[in-house]
């Protein structure tokens, strides 16, 4: 069964700390992995995409690495406005078509001011 | 300008009723999706649709049906609503990029409550 697992489920760093979260996945075929952020009451917003193991991507204070069966996301110098739920989503050819993402349950980040 | 919009934002209805949620995207994307997010924030794909094919998550009851009048719209019809259908429903759209990345743009969601 295609699935994505997050760790940890909740993260509560102090402002200015580094927040570290990860996901692991099990899919029948891998196309790419994407990270999304969801603020309360809103739809998820795409952060970045990665396509092969060993791939690293930096976007502002976000730094992500794609591993063989998972990914790590680091947010440096976290701010209260970074508080949100972060999702890893895998494009695994679900239904025989690219673009159908399998989401995990996310990591909820709550930054203490 | 709103990229992906959904109406209504809130929908409260009784068991057994039939309801629809509308979705429109102005991004010119060729693929649209419907997701269901349950109370534990688990986001699960229900359908993906472009003008060529409909991909259905086999766990979705056939009471749910997507209808696309044109490329910019994908509406969700739900018949005989049940208590377990209560959730937030998100519409999304994407366009195939070089390498097939399919970055998705989500709407604001429709919170459906079935009483």
Q: Which pLDDT belongs to residue A97?
A: 65
pLDDT band for B56, please (50, 70, 90 cuts): confident
Q: Is residue A95 scored above 80 in pLDDT?
A: no
pLDDT tens digits along B87-101: 999 999 998 776 666
Q: Region B40-51: what's the mean pLDDT?
A: 87
Q: Which pLDDT belongs to residue B108?
A: 96
Q: Region B36-57: what's the mean pLDDT?
A: 85
Q: Which pLDDT belongs to residue A91?
A: 87
B94 strand-pairing partners: B31, B104
Q: Which pLDDT belongs to residue A25?
A: 94
Q: How many Å apart are CA A14 and CA A29, to the nearest integer? A: 38
Q: Is residue B59 scored above 90 in pLDDT?
A: no
Q: Which pLDDT belongs to residue B112?
A: 98
Residue B57 near residue B47, CB atoms below 8 Å? yes
Quick one: tokens of B59? Answer: 């766990």
Test B106 with A100 for CB contact under 8 angstroms. Answer: no
Q: Which pLDDT belongs to residue B58?
A: 75
Q: How many Å apart are CA A76 and CA A61, to the nearest integer? A: 5
Q: Is residue A99 scored above 90 in pLDDT?
A: no
pLDDT tens digits along A10-59: 999 999 999 999 999 998 888 889 999 999 999 999 999 998 877 899 99
Taking any CB pair shorter than 8 Å as contact, residues of chain A touching chain B are 31-32, 34, 38, 41-46, 49, 51, 85, 87, 91, 94-103, 105-106, 108
Give me Rg for the CA atoms of chain B. Answer: 14
Helix, strand, or coil (residue A42): coil
Q: Which pLDDT belongs to residue B10?
A: 97
User: Which residue from B55, B104, B107 is facing A95, i.e. has the nearest CB?
Assistant: B55
Q: Region B55-67: what's the mean pLDDT?
A: 87
């Amino acid at each position: 069964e295609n699935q994505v697992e997050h760790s940890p489920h909740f993260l509560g760093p102090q402002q200015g700390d580094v927040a570290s979260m990860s996901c692991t996945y099990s899919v029948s075929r891998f196309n790419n992995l994407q990270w999304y952020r969801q603020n309360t009451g809103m739809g998820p917003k795409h952060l970045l995409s990665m396509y092969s193991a060993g791939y690293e991507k930096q976007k502002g204070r976000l730094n992500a690495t794609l591993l063989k069966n998972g990914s790590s996301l680091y947010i440096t110098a976290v701010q209260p406005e970074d508080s949100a739920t972060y999702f890893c989503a895998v494009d695994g050819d679900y239904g025989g078509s690219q673009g159908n993402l399998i989401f995990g349950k996310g990591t909820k980040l709550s930054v203490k001011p | 300008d709103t990229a992906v919009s959904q109406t209504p934002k809130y929908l409260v209805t009784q068991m057994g009723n039939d309801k629809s949620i509308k979705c429109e995207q102005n991004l010119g994307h060729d693929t649209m999706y419907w997701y269901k997010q349950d109370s534990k924030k688990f986001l699960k794909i229900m359908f993906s649709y472009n003008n060529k094919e409909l991909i259905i998550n086999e766990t979705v009851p056939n009471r749910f049906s997507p209808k696309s009048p044109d490329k910019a719209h994908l509406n969700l019809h739900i018949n005989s609503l049940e208590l377990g259908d209560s959730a937030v429903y998100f519409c999304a759209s994407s366009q195939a990029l070089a390498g097939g990345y399919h970055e998705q743009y989500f709407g604001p969601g429709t919170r459906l409550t079935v009483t």
